[in-house]
Amino acid sequence: MITLAGIIGSGKSSLTEILADELGTKPFYEPVEDNPVLPLFYQGNEIAAKRRAAGEQNVSNPYAYLLQTFFLNRRFKMIKLAKKGSNNILDRSIYEDAMFMKMNTAMGNATEIEYKIYQELLANMLSELQYVSDEPTEDLMVMINVSYETMIKRIKKRGREFEQIEADPSLVSYYHNLLDYYHQWAESYDISPFLMIDGNKYDFVENLADRAQVLDQIESKLVELGKLTPAEFAALQQKRAHN
C-alpha cells in the first residue's frame, strides 16, 4: 500500500489520483467534502484563539477530539480496504492523524485526557491491523514537502472558505506550527520506506514534465522495494512518452 503525506494544500489528493491512474490501482481519499466536523473544527479554533487572546486560561477547541476521532475511524476503514489489493493508494496516513492530535493537544485545542484516549484507540487499531497482516501498514510513504508560501497559494486556489487566512487570521500561526510538526514528523518517521517529493520544485498537477519526474521517483522506489518490476516500470514510462 502506498500512502501520501503532506500538509494542507500540498497536493496529496491530486497526486493520489495521478498515481492511481498511472498504476491502474485504487485511490482512497481523505473524507473532506462529506465531513460535517471539519468546518466546526476551524470555527472552534477561531473561537478558542479569541478567548485566549482575551486572557482566558485552559481554553480548548471542543471539536478537536471529535474531528481526529472521525478521521481515525475513516482511515482505519480505508486501510483495511486498501490492503486487499496491490499498490492501492491512500491520500493521508493514519500516523499523520496522530501527529495532528499531538499538535492540537500541545496547542491546547485538545485536553490531555482526550489525547490519552485517542492514543489508546489508535494503538488498538494498529494492533488489529498487525493481527490481520504482519506487514507494515504502509509499503511506501511518499511525503510532498512544500513551503508556507506554496501551501497558502494552493489553499487559495482550491477556495475552501474555512481554510483561508483572510477569513481567520489565527490560521497563520496554526499553519506555521503545523509545518514545524510536519518537519519533525518526517525526520522521525521510520515505520516503512519513505520518499520525499519536493512540492515547491515540481508542479505535478499542471506541468506534465514535472509530473513525469515525480512519477519516475515514486516508481523507481517501488522497483527498489520489489513492488514493481523493472519491465513494468519501463512500460509505464513508454506509455507516458506516447501520451
Identify the pLDDT of residue 131.
47
Please give the share of the chain, as a percent, with pLDDT higher than 90: 59
Residues 6+ apart with CB under 8 A from 46: 168, 170
**Cβ contact 209:199 at 8 Å:** no
Gap between the Cα atoms of 73 and 115, Å rounded: 15
pLDDT at 169: 87
Taking only the tens place, the pLDDT of each residue in 57-77 is 888 898 999 999 998 998 899
Distance CA 52, CA 55 (A): 5
Which tens digit of pLDDT belongs to each residue from 1-12?
Answer: 899 999 998 999
The pLDDT tens digits for 37-61 are: 888 988 898 888 888 889 988 888 9
Residue 58 has a pLDDT of 84
Count of beta carbons in the 10 Å neighbourhood of residue 78: 21
What is the DSSP code string of 79-95? HHHHTTSSS-EESS-HH
Range in 5-9, 45-49, 133-137, 224-228 with the lowest mean pLDDT? 133-137
pLDDT of res. 191: 87
> How much is the average pLDDT of 126-134?
66
Of 2-11, 96-105, 122-131, where does mean pLDDT reach its minimum? 122-131
The SS3 call for residue 187 is helix
Residues 194-207: pLDDT tens digits? Answer: 999 999 999 999 99
The candidate with the shortest Cα–Cα distance to 63, out of 41, 32, 35, is 41
Q: What is the mean pLDDT of residues 75-82?
A: 89
Question: First and final CA of the chain: distance in angstroms?
Answer: 26
Residues designated as active site:
91
- Please give the CATH number for the structural domain made up of 2-242: 3.40.50.300
Paired residues of 28 in beta bridges:
90
Task: Report the distance separating Cα 25 and Cα 133, nearest Å.
Answer: 20
pLDDT at 132 over 70: no
Query: What does the CA dihedral 186, 191, 194, 199 come to, rounded to 10 degrees?
Result: -40
**Mean pLDDT across the chain, nearest whole number?**
90
pLDDT at residue 29 above 70? Answer: yes
The mean per-residue pLDDT over the stretch 135-156 comes to: 87
Average pLDDT over residues 157-177: 88
**Which pairs with CB-CB distance under 8 Å and at least 24 residues apart come from 106-112?**
107/174, 107/177, 108/48, 108/52, 108/58, 108/59, 108/60, 109/44, 109/45, 109/48, 109/60, 109/61, 109/64, 110/60, 110/61, 110/64, 110/65, 110/68, 111/60, 111/65
Q: What is the pLDDT of residue 137?
A: 53
